[in-house]
Structure 1
Amino acid sequence: MKIFDIHSDLFTDVAWRRSQGETNVFDRIHYPQLKKGGVDSIICVLWVEPAFREDPIARFQKLLRHTLDDLRTSKHANVCLTVDDMKNEIFSNKINLFLGIEGMTFLEAWGKDSLDANIESAFEVLHENNVRHTIFVWNEWNALASGTGSEDEPTSRGLTSFGELAVQKANELNWILDASHLDEASFWDMYNATDQPMIASHSNAYALCPHERNLKDEQIKAIASRGGLIGLNAFHGFVDKENPTLERFVDHAAYMADLVGSEHIAFGFDFIDYLSTYDLGGPIKGSTLGLENVAKIPDLLDCMKARGFSTNEIEDISFNNAYRFMESHFKN
């Protein structure tokens, strides 16, 4: 069964390894593991780690350069702009990649005369480099929006006027707007600032795990009401605070399916096992028992079947829902 993972940080590993002199990181390190898990397609993000928050623009530029250099020489990475670019053969030796951003604080130092100009320039440059997705914040607040997990209180919560401009620019370029990491105020501001479907690429149900990174029922319903998509997150802290297990992960899938229908659910695993040896500047270690890495995905599918999900529902959640969302979005 094919898997479409709508949130991956593997570019972080690519950048660290290339900074240490390694090459062909995607092909050597990630491609074999992705194949073991049945992964066919991914949204991969460029994410400035907490360790580099003092100079996010410098780190972002290195991330982008290392990533593009690695993809340029890859035999297995197929960078896509629409579903028409995807290799859909079951036994293809390619992994379809859509490029995204996780946190846009670097915009503040983009180098133009004003933040408005920075937004205009950055979106255009990133678009030229095949980026088609954005999350405005990561455990922070910035000039665009307020997010969850910030070390200090934002000056105000919600989208700023610059955030509204960024939404307009994303809509103009037909990027995917991703609500994961937004706090509630910013979530609703973004929802009201766009008429496009939104995704929450790696968020679970707050009702089952009351963490601020998870979605409350009204947020889940709002995303579904416009034909949006929610990617279930395997990060242990968002699965269960006390006992994060494979079974509990499936609880989130069942809860959302009962609430809005399985057609609005996907996988956004957010696996971090390959980042455990790096000093990223924050406590992101840990795992969900039974779903520690991409190779455990077949076990997840077996568990979902045992819990009563039909073959069609599992296929939709695993791949078809994300594929249909991308197909519809990039035709708008």
Structure 2
Amino acid sequence: MKVFDLHSDLFTDIAFRRARGETNVFDRIHYPALKKGGVSSIICVFWTEPIFSHQPLERFHDLIKFVEADLLESKHAVVQPIDGIQEETISDGKVKVYLGIEGLSSLDQWITKSENETIDTTFAFMKEKNIQHIIMAWNEQNAFASGTGASSIDGERGVTTLGLDLLAKSEKSGFIIDVSHLDETSFWDVIHNTTSPIIASHSNARAVCNHERNLTDAQIRVVSERNGLIGLNAYGEFVDERHPTVDRFIDHIDHIVSIAGIDHVAFGFDFLDYLSDHPLGGGMDVLTEGLEDVTKVPALLEQMKHRGYSQEEIEEISYKNAEGFMTNLISERRRT
């Protein structure tokens, strides 16, 4: 069965490996695992790791340089362009890659570094690079919004005036607006200042695991009311406080489906197994038992069947809902 993964950090692995002289990383390291897991489409993000927090813009440009070079070498990855040329189903086994940004600290530095740089120029750059997805803040506060896990005297500051400008331009450009990682103040600011469907690409249910990265029932409900998507996250810390397992992961599916309905649930696995050997600047090593990496996804789907999900329901969550969201988004871009 096909799988659409709404969130991956594999670009980080590509960048570290390219920096030490490796080539063809996607095809050698990631494609075999993605193929085994059934992944046919994936949102991959440019994420500035904590170790590079003092130079986010420089790191952002390095990430783009390394990733572009690797994808040009790839025989198995096809970048989904923002103009939608590649929206038709790819049948030759290639993986369709959507480009995104997780945390805008690099754009914050870009804009504040030069009086000549504005949100308009940075958006032009992102479109040129086929970036079409944004998460405004990671575990940080920046010039645009505040995220969960950010330590600041400002508390949950929310979306700033500059952030509202960015949101308006994101909607106008038909970008995928992703509310994962936003604190509750920023989340509701996005809801109240946009009208387009949004996604929470890699967020679970707070009622099942009481972590600030997970969504409250009210947040789950409003994403579904906006015809958006919630991608279930396999990272152990967000699955269960004590014993994250594949069954506990399915408990999150059950809960979100009960509120949002099956049509608004997807996967955003956030697998991190391939980052364990890289100096990220923070520990991220809590794996979910039975769902440690992408090769375990077929077993997850089988377990969902045992838990009472029909074949059609599993297909909806696995890829149909996400594919439909992207098709509608591309169609809307063409109308504007």
Q: Which residue of 1 aligns with 2:141?
A: 141
TM-aligned CA deviation for residue 71 of structure 1? 0.9
Correspondences of 1:57-206 after superposition (within 5 Å) = 57-81=57-81, 85-86=86-87, 88=89, 92-110=92-110, 117-154=117-154, 157-206=157-206
AA matched with 1:95: V
**Do the aligned partners of residues 64 and 246 (structure 1) sit closer, same or farther apart at CA in structure 2, a change above 3 Å counting?**
same
TM-score, normalised to structure 2, is 0.95
- Number of residues paired by the alignment? 331
Q: Could you tell me how far apart the structure 2 residues matched to 1:124 and 1:30 are?
A: 30
TM-aligned CA deviation for residue 140 of structure 1? 0.5
Aligned partner of residue 110 in structure 1, secondary structure: helix
* Structure 1: stretches of 5+ with no match in the other structure: none
TM-aligned CA deviation for residue 168 of structure 1? 0.9
Correspondences of 1:231-242 after superposition (within 5 Å) = 231-242=231-242
TM-aligned CA deviation for residue 117 of structure 1? 4.0
Aligned residues with identical type, % of pairs: 50
Q: Deviations over 1:241-293 (max 9, x none)?
A: 11100000000001111112111000000000000001100111120000000
Indicate if the aligned counterparts of 1:209 and 1:240 stay in contact, CA closer than 8 A: yes
AA matched with 2:187: F
Q: Which residue of 1 aligns with 2:283?
A: 283
TM-score, normalised to structure 1, is 0.96
**Do the aligned partners of residues 193 and 114 (structure 1) sit closer, same or farther apart at CA in structure 2, a change above 3 Å counting?**
farther
Indicate if the aligned counterparts of 2:108 and 2:144 stay in contact, CA closer than 8 A: no
Q: Which residue of 2 aligns with 1:214?
A: 214
Q: Which residue of 1 aligns with 2:46?
A: 46
AA matched with 2:89: N
Indicate if the aligned counterparts of 1:235 and 1:271 stay in contact, CA closer than 8 A: yes
Q: Deviations over 1:145-179 (max 9, x none)?
A: 01101133336611000000110111121100000
**Do the aligned partners of residues 113 and 140 (structure 1) sit closer, same or farther apart at CA in structure 2, a change above 3 Å counting?**
closer
Q: Which residue of 1 aligns with 2:265?
A: 265
RMSD (CA atoms): 1.5
AA matched with 1:7: H
**Do the aligned partners of residues 262 and 115 (structure 1) sit closer, same or farther apart at CA in structure 2, a change above 3 Å counting?**
farther
Indicate if the aligned counterparts of 1:157 and 1:186 stay in contact, CA closer than 8 A: yes
Indicate if the aligned counterparts of 2:156 and 2:183 stay in contact, CA closer than 8 A: no
Q: Could you tell me how far apart the structure 2 residues matched to 1:25 and 1:153 are?
A: 41
Indicate if the aligned counterparts of 1:205 and 1:214 stay in contact, CA closer than 8 A: yes
AA matched with 1:102: E
**Do the aligned partners of residues 267 and 208 (structure 1) sit closer, same or farther apart at CA in structure 2, a change above 3 Å counting?**
same
Aligned partner of residue 169 in structure 2, secondary structure: helix
Q: Could you tell me how far apart the structure 2 residues matched to 1:140 and 1:4 are?
A: 27
Indicate if the aligned counterparts of 1:78 and 1:86 stay in contact, CA closer than 8 A: no
- Where do 4+ consecutive residues of structure 1 move more than 2 Å? 81-84, 86-90, 111-118, 151-156
**Do the aligned partners of residues 42 and 107 (structure 1) sit closer, same or farther apart at CA in structure 2, a change above 3 Å counting?**
same
Q: Could you tell me how far apart the structure 2 residues matched to 1:140 and 1:266 are?
A: 26
* Structure 2: stretches of 5+ with no match in the other structure: none
Aligned partner of residue 4 in structure 2, secondary structure: strand
Aligned partner of residue 215 in structure 2, secondary structure: coil
Aligned partner of residue 165 in structure 1, secondary structure: helix
